[in-house]
Every structure is written in structure tokens, then in C-alpha cells.
Amino acid sequence: MHIHILGICGTFMGGLAVLARQAGHTVTGCDANVYPPMSAQLEAQGIRLIEGFDAEQVSLEPDLFVIGNVVSRGNPLMEEILNRNLPYTSGPQWLGEHVLSKKWVLAVAGTHGKTTTTSMLTWILEDAGYHPGFLVGGVPMNFGISARLTDSDFFVIEADEYDTAFFDKRSKFVHYHPRTAILNNLEFDHADIFPDLAAIETQFHHLVRTVPGQGRVIVNGREAALERVLARGCWSEVERFGVADGWHVAQANDALAPGQEAFWAHHGPVAAGEVKWSLQGEHNRMNALAALAAARHVGVPPEQGAAALGKFQNVKRRMEVRGEVAGVTVYDDFAHHPTAIQTTLAGLRRRAGTARILAVLEPRSNTMKLGVMKSQLPASLADADLVFGYGAPSGKDALGWNLAEALAPLGARAQAFSDIDGLVRAVSAAAQPGDQIVVMSNGGFGGIHQKLLDTLAARA
């Protein structure tokens, strides 16, 4: 089959393209911006890329056009596809029908921690010899790639609640039909497509409806929103984590060598295994519990899973150290929702102790750009000693609200910028030996990480 993918350079659609190519299909694709590293990864797989969405691409005559959710009505190529009545489908539907349909699918859903938990679970299965296929919305450092197709019966997927396509407004994850589903947490997000939390709960209810009776739903037992989801109907086995009668943490010890932590995972009253690793924070312990529970469902003993987590290397852009110059460490993190920002900074505070934390933030997600959560920013940044915020002055990433006003409750600790170079100069001037600089954004942030390192090096 020849498929032509519209919106191929996004994380999900790029991963789908790799899976399709590994399955033996001919794959071509297009996007508004075709540039490394995604373009290089796709071209290395033998995938031809076209920049732009010109209507003439119908002359490629693929068997099927696969449409990413970045595409909307008015797109020249999409309009030509519709006018000619050519066959098309969404990315999630194609994946469900052509890759996942004969697999035991383990899906990880939730507002936060999807990428990390999916990566943990995939690594546990890999270490146990299951050699699973996977599709992750990031790059697990144990694998160095975000997608892989294997002959294993098992496939692990990050299950996103964002909508499928302009013609299918259901969440992507309803197409995956998991036998094992993790519901990691649930709060309001994606304000550009969901009016309120109840609307997202409905989508999670639809996901639960697709899990077979012999399947298992692994649920964060601390989340009232997820309890409401289950109360609407659940026909599968349920295991909870984060509560005493389910999977929980005992004897956590984060006072080991710098950057090291250990904890015992328990399943009810039974000690399931000790995890010794380099990750920090309760959120990662919760992610680990969910991954251990899901792995147990497919036959991996929890003790073996705990040992595997000791070799887990985390995910790129999750508190990834980008460099250290003159005693100043620069981290890259994907946090962009106030809850994730608070969690990231709290974890770093436990690791850094009394060292100063300089938080550099770009609130560029669709939800943050709408300003729905701007009032939550000051509290989420409480663990930072200094805060440097950036709001793009124009273009698709421009904020529709005043960042300086939103950060004003932090007083002199916070500054707002509309110029990245000015931001870099201010952060570099403020930095002192021993400082921890954490850059938080769900985008490239104009290459600020390297700019900071270069400026700090020039000053040293």
C-alpha cells in the first residue's frame, strides 16, 4: 500500500510514518515545515517528503491519504482530495486498523506523565524479553527512537486525548482498543477543543468502553475525575495505584547519593519490588507504579519490573541535562501545564536542596496561549528563586494575554520578555555557580538551551 501522510512532521504522524514503512508500505508525506531532526529521521527510512500542501500532490496517486489533525478545511491538498472523492482516513484510525488490530495493546492515557509512563512500560517489557512495538510522544533514551514495529504480540502506545482529525472529533485513543489501559491522571487541558473537564471525562469514558471484559484498567486512585469516569460504566478488571489497598509506595528514600532514589512498590499488603533509580519525585514514583501494574497484566513479575526500572534512562526533554558551564547546570523539560511546571520544580527542589533554581518558561501550548490557566502560573512557580518568562510577540505562538501581569504576584523574582536574546542575556547575567536553570516549553524555544550555554561559556 502507498500512503501519503498530510502533516507528517508532527511527533505522532512521524512515528506513524516510521511504523508504516517498517510494515512494508510505501510512504510519502507533506507538511508546512519540513526540517531536521524529524525530516532527517523520516528520510533515513526512505520516506519522501514534500514541503507544503499544494493540490498537485494528488498526482502521486497513493492508495490512501492519511490525514493529521493539523490539517483543516481550506487546506489546498485536502480540498482537492475532497473534490475528487479520493480515499482518506485519519492517522489514529489507520494505526488502529493496520498496526494495532492484531496486537495486545497497552495504552497509557492521562493529562500528565503519558510519555514517561509509556517509556517506562515499554522498557520493562523490553528488559523482560517481550521486544514490544511502541509509539511514544517523545524519545525514550533506552531506545533512542520514538516508534518501532516488531513481530511481538505486544504494542505499547501513548494514548492522547487530543482530537483525531477535522472530520473525527473523538479523542485519538478511541481508535486503539487496548487490552491494558492506564489512566494516569485527569484534569482540564486542551482548552482549544474541550469546553470543560466534563467533556474530557466523556472521552475517557469512551476509552474505557473499548477495553474488553478480559482486559484491565489501571487507574490513579487519587483522582476524583477518574472515579467519575469509572462510575459512568466499566466492564473490565480495575486495579488502582496511589492508594493503600492498591499499588502504592512504601519506604521512599530520596536521601541517597545525589541524583539517586530508592523506594519499595507494594501491591496491597505485599511488597512487590524495590526500585533504585536516578529519577526524582512522587510523580515519577506514581508513573512507575502504573507501569509495574500494566507489565504485571502481561506476565512480568513486579520484582523483575522493579529491577528493570533501575536501568530506565528517562525520556529526552524530561529534566534532561543539556550542559554545565562554570558550575551552572541547564536542564530541558517539556512542562507547559501549571501542574507539570509545579511538579517539575518540586522534583528539582528536592534534588537541588538549597541551590538556586532559575525557571525559564515559554507558555506556548494551545491551552496556555488562550490564557485559561494564566492565574495558576505564580503558584506553580513557587519553588523557583527567579523566573524568566517568554511570550512570543507575534505569529502562531503569540500569547493572547499579558505575561508580565500574570507573573506580577511573584514580584521582583519574575521578569517577562518578548525577545529571546534579551531573555538569554538576563538569565546569564543572573546565573551564579551552583545555580540550576530549568527551561520549560513544549516547543523548541528558539534554541535557547544552547544559547544559554554559549553565553555562560563566553562569560566564564
Binding-site members are: 110-116
Residue 62's SS3 state is coil
Place of cell 516510521: 18
* Cβ count near 153 (within 10 Å): 13
Instruction: Round to whole Å and give the CA distance between 436 and 447.
Output: 18
Instruction: Tell which residue, 155, 162, 154, 122, has the closest CA to residue 138.
Output: 122
Instruction: Round to whole Å and give the CA distance between 106 and 176.
Output: 9
Instruction: Round to whole Å and give the CA distance between 221 and 239.
Output: 9
* 82 sits in which H/E element: helix 76-83
The binding site for ATP comprises: 110-116
Q: How far is CA 387 from CA 50, 263, 319, 412, 427, in A?
A: 40, 32, 17, 9, 9
Instruction: Round to whole Å and give the CA distance between 315 and 81.
Output: 38
C-alpha grid cell, residue 20: 508504516
* Cβ count near 292 (within 10 Å): 29
Say if residue 37 is preceded by a cis peptide, omega within 30 of 0: yes
* Cβ count near 16 (within 10 Å): 26
Place of cell 524519545: 139
DSSP string of 277-328?
A: ES--SHHHHHHHHHHHHHHHHTT--HHHHHHHHTT---BTTSSEEEEEETTE
Q: How far is CA 419 from CA 2, 92, 277, 366, in A?
A: 44, 37, 38, 20
Residue 358, strand partner residues: 386, 437
Instruction: Round to whole Å and give the CA distance between 109 and 105.
Output: 12
Instruction: Round to whole Å and give the CA distance between 124 and 310.
Output: 10
Residue 361, strand partner residues: 389, 440
